[in-house]
Structure 1
């Protein structure tokens, strides 16, 4: 009894090629979806310098967190408010507050704002803030020394401020 030979035909080649490219395209689409849903959007000018500064910045953040000083950012009627308090809730002694507002992707809307002191621990600035995601870096100083340095990602929602 002889075994029938099976030929590799053009149809087999077509199915092999289609199967191969289906797998490649499927993997690429899956990876693109994972990347776009998990990317923080943080961009630095020089990745080497940023990596070298990481440990120093992490130690500074731990020291500031241990101090108990807490800042709160709020928006009302086109004004940006920043309250800074000590651990016990009393106003923190701060001379100046400045903030950098950055979009997670792109820099065409980024801006810097210096806050005016309204009262001890209370600062205010006027700037129209368009709706969407922002990364806000706030630095508070007393006699030139940094009291609080924080960065938060905020979402102003559908209503611009």
Structure 2
């Protein structure tokens, strides 16, 4: 016995349904991705880019002065997620340093928070508070006498 039914013809309604379905999926994906993008990163690096540009040469001079100090900064996390800071010059630990730091989430999910340090063994400074699990950006200012250095480190 053979099947004598004729296949249904492809009509304009079929094509319309395919096109509407395709574009509905594309639009839904675009809106979803745009929503995720807007909710995770505000896109702001500095408050006012024009004002920041006015300080650019000053920042370059400060960076050159920091390079001339010859300090080597080693920033790590211990097992309990305390930030450890060791500053050395020519391989010798630099004593009597003071540090202040701010931590924040790299894409601005949390407001910046101050991080306090206390002296630890071997001339190392150790943060008083441990970091919560996750990615963090550490903005650090280290002072030794009249000298100052700034560091930015990503920690996980």
TM range (shorter): 0.5 to 0.7
Cα distance, 1:133 vs. partner? 0.6
Aligned twin of 1:96: 98
Cα distance, 1:138 vs. partner? 1.1
CA RMSD of aligned residues (A): 3.7
- 1:9-158 aligned at under 5 Å gives the runs 9-25=12-28, 28=30, 43-44=44-45, 46-48=47-49, 49-54=51-56, 56-76=58-78, 78=80, 79-86=82-89, 88-92=90-94, 94-104=96-106, 105-108=108-111, 110-118=112-120, 121-146=123-148, 148-155=149-156
TM-score, normalised via structure 2 length: 0.64
Task: Give CA deviations for 1:5-26 in whole Å, capped at 9, x if unaligned.
Answer: xxx8333333333333444455
**Aligned length, in residue pairs:** 140
Question: Is 1:138–1:149's contact at 8 Å kept on the other side of the alignment?
Answer: yes
- Structure number with greater Rg is 2
Unaligned runs of 5+ in 1: 1-7, 156-161
Cα distance change, pair 82–151 in 1 and its aligned pair in 2 (3 A): same
TM-score, normalised via structure 1 length: 0.62
Moved more, 117-126 or 133-142: 117-126
